[in-house]
Structures are given as structure tokens and as C-alpha cells.
Amino acid sequence: MTLAELFDICKDLELRQAKLYASFALILGDVDERIARFWERMSTEEWQHYILADFGRAICIEAFGKDTPISTADMDANTSPIPALPDISIKEITDALTLHESKVESGKLSLDEAFEIAIAIEGSETDTIYLYLLAIIRKAIRESNQPYLMSRVVQVEKDMVSHVDGLVRATQKFGKDTSLIRKAHRLKEEHS
């Protein structure tokens, strides 16, 4: 896999997640205006992740080249100027996302089911890919001597924590299933 391909995968995942959250706003918005606004905000934040991935792709391709191979644990780390990709299954991530999309397309979705899906998404290895790419973006910014861009990456990292915090607060406020609320808190602990 090349650097450009991994950025494209990340962008696709972020876009699909943004669309899911937008669907939640449409399907569940009649329950409560605050719920609709919450899901709209979650969707907007995923769109922002998509935009940052696109921005980072451009910076990294300029610094390293689009055909730069992504090192994996079974490759010689010296063949790529970027660190090895953590051991994750992109297929598992995309398969899980497809299942979530199918559930949403059925049109039958409770608020607790939406929270369950959001917790699964935010706890998935998609964030591992995103954080890995942020590390590569940091390296590209340093190597291209554009330190003024670093503040954008730092802000994105803060926004990711805020994104999960918002999900936890909404789950506490609107969720009815106590086990779901506990899952949300565990997710927050993992992202702290």
C-alpha cells in the first residue's frame, strides 16, 4: 500500500462516517431538536476530519511522494521514510462500517442504536489510521520546514478529544441504556 492509497482510504472512511451521522440527524431529528443538532455537529466534525486528511495528503505527497510505500511490521522499515503502520485490518473497519450503513438504510433506528453505532465507530481502528496519518503529517511539516502548519494538527488532535467528549455527554443526556453509557465512558478513557 502506498501513502496516497492510505490517505484515500482514510478520506473514504471519514466521509462515510460523516454521512452516517448526517443520516442519524435526519432519522432521529424529530425526537428532539437538540438530538438533531448533536448529530449534525458530529457529521460536521467528521467532514472536518475528511478535509484535514485531504490537506495532509497534499503535504505528505509533496514531502514524500505519492508512491511512498507504507511500512508494515513484516517489511524492512528502511524501505520507507515513514514509520510502520500499526497492525490493523482495514477490511474489518470497512466491513463494520458497511454493516452500520445497512442498519441506517433500513430506516429503523432507535436513538440508543445510533449511540451504539457511534461508540463503535469512534472506538474503531479508524482513529488509529487517522492518528497514524497525523504523525506522518507532523513529520512532513517538519521536513518541509512549514512549522506554521503544526498548529492546525495540534488543533485537530484537541478536536478529536472534544468529539468523543461530545458523544459521551450526549449519550449520558439522551441515552436510556446504562450499559451504553458505560461503553461511552470507556471510550472516553481510551481517548484521554
Which pLDDT band, with edges at 50, 70 and 90, does 73 fall under?
low
Say whether pLDDT at 1 is over 80.
yes
pLDDT tens-digit map of 12-45: 999 999 999 999 999 998 878 999 999 999 999 9
Q: Which pTM does this prediction carry?
A: 0.88
Separation of alpha carbons 83 and 135, rounded Å: 9
Our CA angle for 48, 49, 55, nearest 5°, is 90
Contact indicator for 122, 165 with CB cutoff of 8 Å: no
177-184 average pLDDT score: 90
Name the average pLDDT for the chain: 88
Separation of alpha carbons 183 and 168, rounded Å: 9
48-76 average pLDDT score: 83
Quick one: pLDDT at residue 155?
Answer: 80
Range of the domain at 16: 3-191
The conformation of residue 2, written as its DSSP 8-state character, comes to B
Q: Which residue has the cell 428532539?
A: 32
Comparing 18 with 89, the larger pLDDT belongs to 18
How many domains, in total, are found in the chain?
Answer: 1
Which pLDDT band, with edges at 50, 70 and 90, does 76 fall under?
low
